[in-house]
């Protein structure tokens, strides 16, 4: 697998998982981003696509858990989504340009593009790439879907692009052959690996060969100790924060 140069900043920061959320601060909110910046942390965020192909800073495929609205996320336009408030907060759902304007290069961003079986993820890649075209701050994209890293490698080669992987029942890479196939398809600049699957001889071997390893979600003292030993950078929240 060919290796592209990876920016130094990628492994020099710790990243707040979905922003620095908790204690009344919603995940993936602008408030959480502000707190991460104040703490000197990079920011990991999620992207869903609106009905009008706009990249929204949101994790779930439906809006019930986060807003109490019984609608699919992609059924609403960006304008409609931005009218919704996170439960228990005055924070509204943010669009990616709002987050980019707020961060303005002060800390790096890890932008996870959500995907699932049968999903036209290329549309989301294009929407995200369009918003990043004039953004000069440090940033990378990543996804469980290997098509995302492939898309950016072809259409936006200047963008650092990673592959996220897990081995439990919730992922698509439980078997070793699936993990190797995903890695071959993506040819990622870095790997973001589930902390529950570390340490891993396979991942350790990739790391020795020069592939940067990030890990998520570091949310306890125990996982933090393990992450510091097994990975180059941490994506953390709660009790896993330094």
Residue 13 placed within a domain = yes
Residue 36 inside a domain? The answer is yes
Q: What is the pLDDT of residue 2?
A: 55
Q: Can you tell me the mean pLDDT for 142-156?
A: 98
Q: Where are the strands (E) in 24-97, listed by range?
A: 42-49, 55-57, 94-95
What's the token pair of residue 73? 């996320």
- Tokens 């996870």: give the residue: 112
DSSP for 112-138, written as a single string: EEP--TT--HHHHHHHHHHHHTT--S-
pLDDT category of residue 4 using cuts at 50, 70 and 90: confident
The CATH number covering residue 93 comes to 3.20.20.190
Contact by Cβ (8 Å): 220, 237? no
**pTM for this prediction:** 0.97
Computed from CA positions of residues 191, 196, 199, 201, in that sequence, does the dihedral angle turn out positive or negative?
A: negative
Does residue 1 register a pLDDT over 80?
Answer: no
Residue 1 included in any domain? no
Local structure of residue 25 (DSSP, 8 states) = B
Domain contains 53: yes
CB atoms within 10 A of CB 197: 18
pLDDT-based confidence at residue 11 (cuts at 50, 70, 90) = very high
Q: Exposed, middle or buried: residue 11 (CB in 10 Å: 0-12, 13-18, 19+)?
A: middle
- 132 is a domain residue: yes
* pLDDT, position 55: 98
Number of domains making up the chain: 1
Q: Could you give the CA distance from residue 127 to residue 114 in angstroms, rounded to a whole number?
A: 13
**Mean pLDDT, range 223-234, rounded to an integer:** 98
The pLDDT > 70 percentage for the chain reads: 99
- What's the whole-number mean pLDDT along residues 23-32? 97
Is position 2 within any domain? Answer: no
Determine the structural domain holding residue 154 and report its residue range. 8-240
């Amino acid at each position: 697998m060919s290796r592209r140069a990876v920016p130094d900043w990628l492994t020099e920061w710790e990243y707040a998982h979905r922003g620095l959320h908790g204690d009344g601060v919603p995940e993936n909110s602008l408030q959480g981003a502000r707190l991460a910046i104040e703490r000197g942390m990079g920011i990991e965020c999620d992207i869903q696509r609106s009905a009008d192909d706009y990249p929204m800073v949101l994790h779930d495929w439906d809006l019930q858990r986060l807003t109490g609205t019984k609608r699919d996320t992609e059924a609403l336009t960006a304008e409609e989504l931005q009218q919704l408030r996170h439960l228990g907060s005055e924070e509204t759902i943010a669009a990616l340009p709002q987050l980019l304007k707020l961060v303005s290069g002060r800390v790096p961003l890890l932008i996870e593009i959500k995907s699932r079986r049968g999903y036209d993820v290329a549309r989301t890649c294009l929407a995200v790439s369009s918003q990043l075209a004039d953004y000069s701050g440090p940033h990378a994209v990543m996804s469980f879907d290997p098509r995302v890293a492939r898309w950016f490698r072809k259409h936006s080669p200047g963008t650092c692009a990673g592959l996220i992987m897990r081995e439990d029942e919730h992922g698509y890479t439980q078997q070793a052959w699936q993990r190797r196939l995903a890695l071959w398809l993506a040819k990622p600049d870095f790997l973001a690996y589930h902390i529950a699957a570390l340490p891993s001889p396979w991942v350790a071997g990739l790391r020795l060969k020069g592939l940067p390893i990030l890990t998520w979600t570091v949310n306890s003292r125990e996982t933090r100790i393990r992450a510091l030993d097994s990975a180059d950078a941490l994506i953390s929240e709660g009790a896993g924060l330094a």
